[in-house]
Chain A
Amino acid sequence: MEPLHARYPFLARSREAVEAAAVDLGEIVATDETVTARALERVESAITDGTVGEPHRRTRVELLSYPVARVLVSLVDVHICTRKYAQAEAEAAYDRFTEEFETTTELKSTQRETLDRTELLAEFDLASAVSDAGDGYRVEVGAYLDLAADQRGDSWRLVNRPLADGEVRVTAEELNVLLKQAIRHRVTDGLPFTVPDAIADELTEEVDRLEEVLSELELTREIDTVVPELFPPCMKSLLDQVQKGEHLEHHSRFAIATFLVGIGMTTDEIVDLFQVNPGFGEEATRYQVDHIRGDTSPTEYSTPACSTMQSYGDCVNMDDLCEAISHPMGYYEQKLDDTDEEELVDWREDEGDEEADA
């Protein structure tokens, strides 16, 4: 196990080093407090401040804490935790390799082994997709899109790039950002996986700790945020029809109303929203919404599951995420989790702003 492995634990050769050392993960988590503590720190810091914390001074501990951290993330099995963790690992690696790339070109020290760009590109099968263009690089469009499609900012959009003969021009700095994304994909790959009980049992304390951290931060975002762009396709379509003033059948109307109640809209807000539609009298709407809410009835009604939506023909425009969920609410929760906090604009706040401006 070399220092380079510990700095870049996601590399194939680092994993091989762990394998070659024939360490038994079960034994490590049972006996090696230092490794589990460092693993916990990796994940905890990822959640709280987007870093993986200070590396442990012992190469062995630092390197082994990586597979253990992955075990922890798998046990916690919360989407946002996995995402934050992969992001933090990628950031840490990015800081290291950008620094090392510079040292390699300037004053090459033979003190320690460093990672160069060529090796990193080869690691992610990008060797043939990226070529040197003198003052920057050319990246094959397929590889570029893999790594740039979820970058934020107009400058990453393919439409704003000089694309010629299947290659996209990028600067050296941009290529580093793309490599960071490749690392993030690598870390995310295979997470979460199934952890044998024997290992899980040794890590209950650490998992509890992480769950506590997650709940303290309220990272699992409250569902009562109204962001129509993130609505499941069925609800988008129903809302659309409501706003176009189209007639909705009872079950459709029930579905959209329960959904809106479920995500925390008040009766007044829903009445306002439905008002544009002459088919929805205020009184009737108010009554129905209160009824759903359980104010005027003993039962609190919840949004129908996808199977019910399907049998009523309210399930439309299914997308990839639909394949993975069974309830429109689950769809929305997942979407909220996937979206960064800063990007979420609650509809009601948005409307408020407009009014304030006017």
Chain B
Amino acid sequence: MEERTRAYLRGRFGDHYRQASVTPPPAANEREWGFIPWTEGPGETMVRHRSLLDLGEIEDFLGRRKPRHVYFSAGRYDEPSASTMSDKGWRSSDLVFDLDADHLPSVVLGEDSYAEMLAKCKDALLRLLDFLEEDFGFDDLTVVFSGGRGYHVHVRDERIRHLERDARREIVDYVRGIGLEFDELVDEESVAGTAGRSSPAQKRTLSTEGGWSARAHRHMLAVVDDLLAMEEADALDRLQEYDGIGEGKATAALNAARSNYEQLEAGNIDVHPAFYQLAKILLHEVVAADNAPIDEPVTTDTNRLIRLPGSLHGGSGLEVQRIDREDIDAFDPLVDPVPETFRGHDITVEVTDGGLVELDGDSFTLEAGNQTVPEHVGVFLMARGRAEKGKE
């Protein structure tokens, strides 16, 4: 990045910060703060181990220093500005989740457009929120667009803030469906011998109360409903698409499902060995479909620094934006986070790496060379290193 580009961006970030209002996180003075300035030369050096006392009032600090990136810690400390973690005196940490398009298995890097990646990320966000709200029962969630390729969710529930790394890893594994064991999900219960059987039998059930077992159960019922709504022959074909299910097992499973539907609804999956086998396969499907592929280290690291909501992302010029729960569905990551400051006028940039840019409801196909574009597009390109500021 050329000096004039850096100076321009820094100046415009400053203009933005002078009029923007930024709400700091709760207990801001117990947190460590860090930022990356617009310095010259390769490599970005983070200034960290700062307390709010060192920085001053946050809005004032942003207007004055005009940093490229700003972060605060998930952790709260006795001495947030101490330079080692052991001297800081850890008290607690927010539980933070990071969904990044780069880590999503469904994203094909280099093929999916920025908009497509973000759309997939939002699907994953909704799955994550379902876990956090339904399974974990958290009600104090802050959802944030990261300004780059994803979303952050901050949980500050008092009952989990003290959790250490191992416990947090359990939460990660839960939402990612790692370590899920079918045999563990299934409750086994001995039942008295039913007609025709002399010895007591096992009755294996999926709990419908909650957790992955309830998810597996819902998925199983949905599949059964589909099968029962089909023509018999189609249903059998469909069943035989599953690994290890031949015609015999397909017929047996289908009949068992038809004649024991109420049992299935109640969670009993021991209606027939073939059905039991099918249920096991369906569990794998549900894990693949429902898990939320969050970035593990962000959640387990209790000292992690996270982008400050309300600040600008120095790699895109977009706002790191809090999103109200009810606005998530309608949220458009390529429109809503475009800062007002950069809207409504054009600038000239020297495009070095052209191509498609979709922003603020418009799309531009840019060629290399001098171009006049809306400022937010120019800022986006310069921040990403795809353009330099045009010479005046």
Q: Which A residues fall within an 8 A CB radius of B?
A: 129, 140-143, 145-146, 148-150, 154-155, 157-167, 169, 319-320, 323-324
Contacts and interface: CB of A to CB of B under 8 A. Distances in A.
Interface in B191-214: 207, 209-214
Given A159-B170, A166-B137, A323-B85, 14 more contacts: A145-B171, A158-B173, A159-B180, A159-B212, A160-B185, A162-B209, A162-B211, A164-B209, A164-B211, A165-B134, A166-B135, A166-B159, A320-B85, A324-B86
Interface stretch (B161-169, B304-312, B368-376): B161-169
Contact of B167 (A146, A162, A169): A146
B307 to A, nearest CB: 21
A167 B209 CA distance: 11
B209 A142 contact: no
Nearest to B137: A166
B196 to A, nearest CB: 29
A141 B207 contact: no
A180 B137 CA distance: 26
A166 B136 contact: yes
Interface string B202-241: 0000010111111000000000000000000000000000
Given A149-B167, A164-B214, A169-B209, A159 B173 contact: yes
A127 to B, nearest CB: 14
A320 B165 contact: yes
9 contacts: A141-B160, A142-B157, A145-B160, A149-B166, A162-B207, A163-B211, A165-B134, A166-B159, A323-B84
Interface of B: 84-86, 134-138, 157, 159-160, 162-167, 169-171, 173-174, 177-181, 184-185, 207, 209-214, 302
Contacts of A166: 135-138, 159
Contacts of A319: 165
B86 A158 contact: no
Given A146-B167, A149-B166, A163 B173 contact: no
A257 B60 CA distance: 51
Contact of A165 (B160, B171, B210): B210
B110 to A, nearest CB: 22
Given A149-B167, A150-B166, A323-B84, A160 B134 contact: no
A44 B207 CA distance: 45
A163 B181 contact: no
Given A145-B167, A145-B171, A165-B134, A160 B159 contact: no
B171 A164 contact: no
A160 B170 CA distance: 10
Nearest to A322: B85
Nearest to A133: B209
Nearest to B300: A319
Contacts of B137: 141, 164-167
B170 A142 contact: no
Contacts of A169: 207, 209
A162 B173 contact: no
Contacts of A154: 179, 181, 184
B132 to A, nearest CB: 10
B48 to A, nearest CB: 14
A279 B303 CA distance: 37
A154 B182 CA distance: 11
A27 B110 CA distance: 75
A155 B211 contact: no
A324 B166 CA distance: 17
Interface centre among B164, B177, B302 (most CB of A within 10 A): B164
Contacts of A158: 170-171, 173-174
A83 B140 CA distance: 37
Contact of B210 (A143, A155, A162): A162
A38 B169 CA distance: 40
Given A158-B171, A162-B210, A146 B163 contact: yes
A164 B210 contact: yes
B135 A163 contact: yes
A166 B95 CA distance: 14
A159 B86 contact: no
Counting chain A CB atoms within 10 Å of each CB, which of B137, B157, B177 scores highest?
Answer: B137
B134 A159 contact: no
Nearest to B209: A162
A157 B184 contact: yes
A323 B209 CA distance: 42
7 A-B pairs with least C-beta separation: A164-B210, A166-B137, A145-B167, A160-B184, A142-B159, A162-B211, A165-B137
Contact of B174 (A159, A164, A320): A159
A160 B215 CA distance: 12
B170 A149 contact: yes
Given A141-B160, A143-B159, A162-B210, A157 B135 contact: no
Nearest to B175: A159
A322 B184 CA distance: 35
A163 B136 contact: yes
Contacts of B163: 142, 145-146
A163 B160 CA distance: 15
A327 B85 CA distance: 17
A145 B300 CA distance: 13
Contacts of A155: 184
A349 B184 CA distance: 30
Contacts of A148: 170
Contacts of A129: 159
Contact of A160 (B135, B166, B212): B212
A239 B233 CA distance: 55
Contacts of A145: 160, 163, 167, 170-171
A280 to B, nearest CB: 30
Contacts of B173: 157-159
A157 B166 contact: no
A165 B210 CA distance: 8
Nearest to A168: B211
Given A140-B159, A149-B170, A155-B184, A164 B134 contact: yes
B135 A159 contact: no
A157 B179 contact: yes
Contacts of B178: 159
B93 to A, nearest CB: 12
Contacts of B207: 162, 169
Given A140-B159, A142-B159, A323-B84, A163 B170 contact: no
A162 B162 CA distance: 23
A325 to B, nearest CB: 11
Nearest to A165: B137
A123 B170 CA distance: 26
Nearest to B182: A160
A162 B211 CA distance: 4
A250 to B, nearest CB: 23
Contacts of B136: 141, 163, 166
A132 to B, nearest CB: 15
